[in-house]
Amino acid sequence: KVCPENVVTIVDKIGAINITDIEQLETIIELIYKKALAEPHYCETYADMVFGLRSVFPEFTSVDSGKPITFKSSVLNICQNEFEELLTIIKPSGDEETQTKAEFELKRATMAGRMRANMKFIGHLFLRKLLSAKVIGSVLCELVLCHFVDYLPEENAIECAVELLIAVGYTLETMPSGENSVKQVCSRLLDLKTRKTEDGKAAYCKRIQFMIQDVLDAR
């Protein structure tokens, strides 16, 4: 079991594995990623593990494009795939009516926890320079639908954006490529905080409004 005290030992053991193709490389990264989501209290440790493995494995050539596939580029691909998958999970599926209230709440809580763990993990990968400011900015904008201003993102998506901003906002804003993303996302969050529905009611509950205000005040 991974923990901060034995991460170096585990990195050495994983690094000793003879990786011979891209599929094996991606399998290792996917396993680490899924463990990080399952054990969010160790997200930072799993990010340290990825960082420790970044220069251990060989570079491969993509069969399709002929481009080099490195450990870092594989991490990016898997992060993007996991993020897209989780985005589809948090959207209403249409089967809520067939579930009991208890089943629905359990599913919602599980999805929300997994999404927050994902944000925490990719935030730590960014802080270790394993993901670029451009990637993090894109994730933030997609969560709050910056490019679809007439649509309202799910509450879970807003919570994830806030989680990620709290984790990396300061560092992201110090980078030229990240500063504009932070400004855009914060402007969007302010708009969502004050948004009204057609009947004049607040689009989001007080909890979400306060959460948005807290992250805006922290800038």
Query: How far apart are alpha carbons 193 and 195 in whole angstroms?
Result: 6
**Which pLDDT belongs to residue 112?**
78
pLDDT per residue over 81-95, tens digit each? 888 887 776 665 555
> Does residue 180 surpass a pLDDT of 70?
yes
Please give, one letter per residue, the 3-state secondary structure of the chain.
Answer: CCCCCCHHHHHHHHHCCCCCCHHHHHHHHHHHHHHHHHCHHHHHHHHHHHHHHCCCCCCEECCCCCCEECHHHHHHHHHHHHHHHHHHHHCCCCCHHHCCHHHHHHHHHHHHHHHHHHHHHHHHHHHCCCCCHHHHHHHHHHHCCCCCCCCCCCHHHHHHHHHHHHHHHHHHHCCHHHHHHHHHHHHHHHHHHHCECCCCCECCCHHHHHHHHHHHHCC
> Does residue 27 surpass a pLDDT of 90?
yes
Spatial CB neighbours of 169, under 8 Å, sequence gap ≥ 6: 182, 215, 218, 219
Answer yes or no: pTM beyond 0.95. Answer: no
pLDDT per residue over 92-112, tens digit each? 555 555 667 777 677 777 777
pLDDT per residue over 48-58, tens digit each? 999 999 989 98
> Does residue 80 surpass a pLDDT of 80?
yes
> Does residue 135 surpass a pLDDT of 80?
yes
